[in-house]
Amino acid sequence: MFSSHKDKLASAPANRQIDTVIAQHCKIEGNLNSENSIKVDGVILGALRCQGRAIIGETGLVKGDVHSADLLVVGKLEGNVFAENLHLHASACITGDISTQNLQVDQGARYSGTVTMRDQASAAAPPAAAGNGIG
């Protein structure tokens, strides 16, 4: 019964543990900061900052910029991405600019915006945030 949910969370590369889950029927209005990992199956209307791994699940929607060390997008993102490692799953849909060091795009993934590939030297100094709010 519980193993199927746990298996879905563990399907992320390297089987990293997810510390926080925003459930499918949960909606957060405002910016969200996490020092650990997070999985979004619900909705975030605001910026998401995650020092660890962030996953936007199949039913997940983020309307705001996302700053994360590692980001896996399976659902939808309407905002800019600032991540060291970005993986767009086949069902991913991003509207916004992408700034990343490593990019993996599965066949079928969609994005609209520009992509900037940074090298390791520039990745050490991520771009300063323009503000705490969304666009």
Residue 131 lies in a domain: no
Spatial separation of the C-alpha atoms in residues 6 and 13, rounded to whole Å: 14
Query: Each residue of 41-77: pLDDT tens digit?
Result: 999 999 999 999 999 999 999 999 999 999 999 999 9
Residue 95 lies in a domain: yes
Q: Which of 62-66, 72-76, 100-104, 115-119 has the lowest mean pLDDT?
A: 115-119
Residue 13 lies in a domain: yes
60: containing domain: 3-118
- Is pTM beyond 0.85? Reply is no
CA distances from 21 to 44, 47, 55, 111 (A): 12, 16, 9, 24
Q: How many domains is the chain built from?
A: 1
Among residues 46, 39, 44, 53, which one has the least CA distance to residue 26? 44
Spatial separation of the C-alpha atoms in residues 56 and 62, rounded to whole Å: 8
Q: Give yes or no for a contact between 92 and 57, defined as CB atoms under 8 angstroms apart.
A: no
Confidence of residue 9 (pLDDT cuts 50, 70, 90): very low
Residue 129 lies in a domain: no
Facing residues of 88 across strands?
73, 105
Residue 128 lies in a domain: no
